[in-house]
Amino acid sequence: MKSLTGQVKAFESGEKYRKMQSEFRKQLAEKNREVTKLKCELADAHAQMVTIRNHWMDVFDGLDKEHADELKKKDSELARLEKRALRAETEIYELKDKLLEKNRELYRAKTELEDEMGRNQKLKAQINRDYENSSTPSSMKPNHKKIQNNREKTGKQPGGQPGHEGHGRKRLEPTNKIHIPAPEKYADSPDYKPTGRIITKQVINLCVSLSVDEYDTPEFRSIKTGQRVHAQFPEGVNDVNYGGTIKAFAFLLNSFSYLCNSIGMIASLRSDGKNLFASVAEFFN
């Protein structure tokens, strides 16, 4: 109580207040000095930052200028290369045009050469044609030599001999099978029964690929008479036939004189159907 009473008296007299005010002023002055010091340090830091920023701006300006100069150089180099590429492309097109013209001239020259070679071959064939390699009779050839017959006489009759196997037209592997149904008068009749034998006939035509139409129909035999019957084949279809394309091809081979084809050669082409295309390819090669 005494202590509190003394403090109250000090506040009442103003002594305590004066002491506190004096201490506060001292502390305030100290804080002001610290604030002033900090402000100075802040100003120095700000000035240093401004200086550093100015240095960086100078560096950036230099780099930007160098980059702009480099881009300008690259643009000029790119424009130069584009002009060069355009000029080279123009030269390539001109060379292509010249090459195309040269190829056309070469084609015309080769065509003329082949025509001249064909005429030369035709003229040679006409010059070398005589009774030995053409149908010209020997009487038309002056100073011709007589052809000797060196065959030995056998006493046999001319033509095919008894027991000799005929050389007919050879059958080919069919590319198109055409079935001819049996006529109802044979199939449905109790007087006829199937023999199990199939009658086949071929028509051979020449096209891009070998085309063989094979017709077949069942055969029947009469129980009463033993007669063998089958459906009627189309008109002109025999055992082995050559169609109109092969006939036209043979006609062309024999007609054009510059091909120099004898009738015997054409007959050999037609006789062996299996090697027909190989023979034709070898002929044209």
Q: Say which residue the tokens 């035999």 belong to.
A: 221
Does residue 191 fall inside a structural domain? Answer: yes
Is the pLDDT confidence value at 120 over 50?
yes
Does residue 147 fall inside a structural domain? Answer: no
Query: For 121-125, what is the mean pLDDT?
Result: 82
Is the pLDDT confidence value at 263 over 60?
no
Does residue 228 fall inside a structural domain? Answer: yes
Q: Are residues 195 and 109 in the same domain?
A: no
Q: Say which residue the tokens 């390819």 belong to.
A: 281
The dihedral formed by the CA atoms of 97, 99, 104 and 110, expressed in degrees to the nearest 10: 180
Provide the pLDDT confidence category of residue 135 given band limits of 50, 70 and 90. low
* DSSP single-letter state for residue 163: T
Does residue 171 fall inside a structural domain? Answer: no
Q: Are residues 120 and 239 in the same domain?
A: no
Residue where a domain terminates, one of 99, 116, 131? 131
Does residue 153 fall inside a structural domain? Answer: no
| Closest listed residue to residue 254, CA positions, set 240, 269, 276, 239 | 269
Q: Are residues 189 and 255 in the same domain?
A: yes
Does residue 138 fall inside a structural domain? Answer: no
Provide the pLDDT confidence category of residue 240 given band limits of 50, 70 and 90. confident
Query: For 214-235, what is the mean pLDDT?
Result: 88
* C-alpha pair distances (Å), 141 with each of 74, 124, 126, 130, 278: 89, 17, 13, 7, 36
Residue where a domain terminates, one of 101, 131, 161? 131
Does residue 143 fall inside a structural domain? Answer: no
In the prediction, which pLDDT does 2 show?
76
Domain that holds residue 194: 176-284
Q: Are residues 193 and 108 in the same domain?
A: no
In the prediction, which pLDDT does 258 show?
42
- Which pLDDT tens digit goes with each residue over 7-22? 777 667 766 677 777 8
pTM greater than 0.85 (yes/no): no
Does residue 196 fall inside a structural domain? Answer: yes
Count of domains observed in the chain: 2
Q: Are residues 119 and 242 in the same domain?
A: no
